[in-house]
Structure 1
Amino acid sequence: MAPVEVPLDVRGLDYEVGGRKLMVGLDLVVRSGQSVAVMGPSGSGKSSLLSLILGLTKADAGQLGVAGADMASLRGSKLSRWRQRHLGMVFQFGELLPELTPVENVALPALLSGSGRADAFLRAHRLLTDLGVRADGVATSDLSGGERQRAAVARALMAEPSLLLADEPTGALDEQARDQVAEVLFQVPRDTGCGMLLVTHDPAVAARADRVLHLAQGRLVDAPGAGDM
């Protein structure tokens, strides 16, 4: 799938939970091949922003464009198909199934979407090999923390998404594994042309991004000294 020029275009986003406004007229654009890191204190709404982009929760106002479609206008199976086609997600703890092999975990999204088993497993094996993860003769539960996260990245890339989302993807890793996973993640937009939006508490991880933003008082502002690439 050819890269989408602007995989994420958020305009005037408002979102309130329990009487607390997490987003107030929030704007955000992520372009093809660009990586954007969002930082902010716990409870500032970073993970909520990802949930809104995924269409798991609905904003109170504003437009949330993913690959040219407003997520608020999509419902049911149309939303699921658009999410499956254009969005990849990497979670803090990988969310892999330990009873499956790495190849089975990575191939699973393609199999659920109706892809043939042989093609899905071949692509999964290639992705794992490219990302330096043991793909044969090992259970997912036997992988190191860094390998599991790289396998989670491989799974997120199975559908060749327009936009890759990552929620504290290195938060549970030691320093060496953190650096390895961060290197893999930030190489993805350069190699595939997708956009990437990553939320993190770690300045060393955020510093790898083309653009670093802070979520404060419901709006995103450029980090001091960070330029808009």
Structure 2
Amino acid sequence: MSEPVLHVRGLDHAMGGQRLFESLSLEVQAGESVAVTGPSGSGKSTLLSCVLGLIRPDAGVVEVAGIDIAALRGSSLARYRSGHIGMVFQFGELLPELSPVDNVALAALLAGVPRRDAYSRAASLLDELGVPAAKSSEHLSGGERQRTAVARALINFPVLLLADEPTGAVDAGTRDRVADLLFGMPARHDCGLLVVTHDRDIALRADRTLVLTGRALSAANSTGTGPR
């Protein structure tokens, strides 16, 4: 088996006097989807923040494509994160005044991609994901906004795709379509996918489902079903 795109080991971290992680370990391979569930306050979103380098853990290593994110600083961290990690937030976090293609291309432009290439790639991804042309993103439906957010996360060819409650702000029908899209990404784009969710049905779509409890990750009782 090749080296994992995400390798977390010996992760320790406390916030507000509460210890969230103690010797936590996690691996995600290219082409694999992993879901993390757990009670509110257990540290699921904090784990994603550690992977993004937004929070520096008290101890441990967080390697993305073989590089310890926690060891990077400033512009080096920003460049590496932009080129290797894509992030999908619960509410999409799009700039409403910008069109879908502008939102997606902006992520590439910030990474130093030439304008023509950025817009060509953005338009291709949005077409692939079925997002209609619009003058501003505020005119999109909830599902279209999330598909735009996925396109933005993929624009720089990340090895690792992260998603924080990606279906928490959409209706049931849209939830299933967004889940189908997300869990199909590892096979289509040869990236790893790490999803944090409270939704058990969504978690069971992953190749592996883990529970964050007692400061560590453990396998869930039921195995995932993968994309459907």
User: Does 2:196 match 1:207?
Assistant: no
Q: Deviations over 1:57-111 (max 9, x none)?
A: 1101111111100112111111111101100000000000000000000100111
Measured in 2, the distance between the counterparts of 1:172 and 1:5 equals 34
> Which position in structure 2 is the counterpart of 1:126?
124
Candidates 86, 105, 127, aligned match of 1:107: 105
Q: Deviations over 1:163-206 (max 9, x none)?
A: 00000000011011001111110110011110010000011111
> Which position in structure 2 is the counterpart of 1:221?
218
Q: In the TM superposition, what is the alpha-carbon distance from 1:138 to its structure 2 partner?
A: 3.8
User: Does 2:138 match 1:141?
Assistant: yes
5+ residue gaps, structure 2: none
User: Does 2:178 match 1:153?
Assistant: no
Candidates 20, 29, 32, aligned match of 1:31: 29
Measured in 2, the distance between the counterparts of 1:69 and 1:176 equals 39
Measured in 2, the distance between the counterparts of 1:155 and 1:204 equals 25
Measured in 2, the distance between the counterparts of 1:5 and 1:152 equals 28
Measured in 1, the distance between the counterparts of 2:172 and 2:120 equals 32
Contact 2:83 2:111 in 1 (8 A): no
Q: In the TM superposition, what is the alpha-carbon distance from 1:225 to its structure 2 partner?
A: 2.6
- The residue correspondences of 1:46-57 to structure 2 (distance < 5 A) are 46-57=44-55
For the structure 1 residues 60 and 137, does the alpha-carbon distance in structure 2 shift closer, same or farther, using more than 3 Å as the test? closer
TM-score, normalising length from structure 1? 0.95
Candidates 62, 74, 80, aligned match of 2:72: 74
Candidates 193, 198, 201, aligned match of 2:195: 198
> Which position in structure 2 is the counterpart of 1:171?
168
Q: In the TM superposition, what is the alpha-carbon distance from 1:41 to its structure 2 partner?
A: 1.0
Q: In the TM superposition, what is the alpha-carbon distance from 1:137 to its structure 2 partner?
A: 4.0
Q: Secondary structure at the match of 2:54?
A: coil
Q: In the TM superposition, what is the alpha-carbon distance from 1:5 to its structure 2 partner?
A: 4.0
Q: Deviations over 1:122-164 (max 9, x none)?
A: 1111101111110x24421010000000100000000010100
Candidates 77, 86, 89, aligned match of 2:87: 89
For the structure 1 residues 137 and 50, does the alpha-carbon distance in structure 2 shift closer, same or farther, using more than 3 Å as the test? closer
Q: Percent identity at matched positions?
A: 58
C-alpha RMSD of the superposition? 1.3
5+ residue gaps, structure 1: none
Equivalenced residues, count: 224
Measured in 1, the distance between the counterparts of 2:160 and 2:125 equals 17
